[in-house]
Amino acid sequence: MNELIQTVAVYALPVIFAITLHEAAHAFAAKYFGDLTAFQQGRMTLNPISHIDPMGTIVIPVVLYLATGGNFLFGYAKPVPVNFGNLRKPKRDMAWVALAGPGANFIMAFLWLVFGVILRAAGVEEAFFMRMAQAGILTNLVMLAFNLFPIPPLDGGRILISLLPYKYAYKFAQIEPYGFFIVMGLVMIHALQFWMYPVITVANLLLNLLVTPLTLILS
């Protein structure tokens, strides 16, 4: 129980920021490209309460953590409502709206990495803050990779629908009602890792490349 409390304390802020800004980014992008649905429903906000799904964000992750000893963790936020038909150019703009969420996670992962670099340069020896920085990087990279998986209704699926020719995009979009179950099946048989690990690795390499100038300046 003590280990669980410590883990929750370390991951609380990173997870809240990751979820909130991911969903808010979708809402901001949707409004920018012409759809006011999320804005009118109060979802274009940085208030985490507006984006947290009690079951998917709290209950399911905690139960899975306890049931598997931390070996398997899954959760989700309340999806931001987007009426793609309201976008100025629906097929094209769908990709930008979908990409906004993972893009926000990449930026947050970068900021957590910068935070860690500054902590080390300042000689901060408090392990809690370093663990929080590492948790922030990991949480956002996992969210980025998972949401970019090319199956609707995940963001990657939306992006793929946007890129495919109309004929194939329409057919591919038909699997959306089954997308969640497909993804969960892949998670359960450990097949999703063949997507997650390469994406996380590439994103992490890019992050470290971007932060190299700051590291050199502070070293």
- Give me the residue label for tokens 């070293």: 219
Choosing from 3, 23, 125, 176, the catalytic residue is 23
HSE at residue 11, side-chain half, CA atoms within 13 A, is 18
Structure tokens at 210: 């971007």
Which residues, including other chains, have CB under 8 Å from residue 214's CB and lie 6 or more apart?
A: 114, 117
d(CA 109, CA 197): 16
Q: Is 3 a catalytic residue?
A: no
DSSP code per residue over 121-149 = HTT---HHHHHHHHHHHHHHHHHHHHHTS
pTM, whole model, 2 decimals?
0.90
Backbone angles phi, psi at 69, to 5 degrees: 65, 25
Segments of the chain scoring below 50 in pLDDT: none
Tens-place pLDDT, residues 11-46: 888 888 898 899 999 999 999 999 999 989 888 888
Of 158, 195, 196, the closest CA to residue 175 belongs to 158
pLDDT of residue 43: 86
